[in-house]
Copies of this chain bind each other. A is one copy, B any other.
Amino acid sequence: MPPSRHDRRSVVECALRLLDEVGLPDLSMRRLAAELDVQPSALYWHFPSKQALLAAVADRILDAVPRPDAELGLPAVGGAIRDALLAYRDGAEVVMSTYALRLGARRAQDALIASLPTHDEAQADAAFEFILGHTTLVQQRMHAQSIGAVDPDRADPLARADEVFQAGIRSFSGVRPVRRPS
Which residues in A have some Cβ–Cβ distance to B below 8 Å?
Answer: 51, 96-97, 99-102, 120, 122-123, 125-127, 129-134, 136-137, 140-141, 144, 149-150, 154-155, 157, 160, 163-168, 170-172, 174-176, 178
Residues in chain B near residue A154, CB distance under 8 A: 101-102
- Bound: A133/B81 CA distance, A: 15
Residues in chain B near residue A129, CB distance under 8 A: 130, 133-134, 137, 164, 168
Known: A96-B136, A101-B144, A170-B178. 8 other contacts (CB 8 A): A102-B157, A126-B134, A126-B168, A129-B134, A129-B164, A130-B168, A133-B134, A170-B175
Structural contact, B101 and A150, CB atoms closer than 8 A: yes
Query: Chain B nearest CB: distance from A122 CB in Å?
Result: 4
- Bound: A126/B164 CA distance, A: 5
Structural contact, B102 and A149, CB atoms closer than 8 A: no
Residues in chain B near residue A165, CB distance under 8 A: 126
Structural contact, B126 and A167, CB atoms closer than 8 A: yes
- Bound: A96/B174 CA distance, A: 26
Among the listed B122, B168, B171, which residue makes an inter-chain contact with A163, where contact means beta carbons less than 8 Å apart?
Answer: B122
Structural contact, A175 and B164, CB atoms closer than 8 A: no
The 8 A-B residue pairs whose C-beta atoms are closest, nearest first, are A133-B133, A126-B168, A100-B140, A122-B167, A130-B130, A123-B167, A129-B133, A125-B164
Structural contact, A171 and B167, CB atoms closer than 8 A: no
- Bound: A32/B3 CA distance, A: 46
- Bound: A120/B164 CA distance, A: 10
Of chain B, the residue at the smallest CB distance from A102 is B157
21 contacts between A and B (CB under 8 A): A96-B136, A97-B140, A99-B137, A123-B171, A125-B160, A126-B130, A126-B134, A126-B165, A126-B168, A126-B171, A129-B133, A129-B168, A130-B133, A130-B168, A131-B133, A132-B137, A133-B133, A136-B136, A170-B175, A171-B175, A175-B175
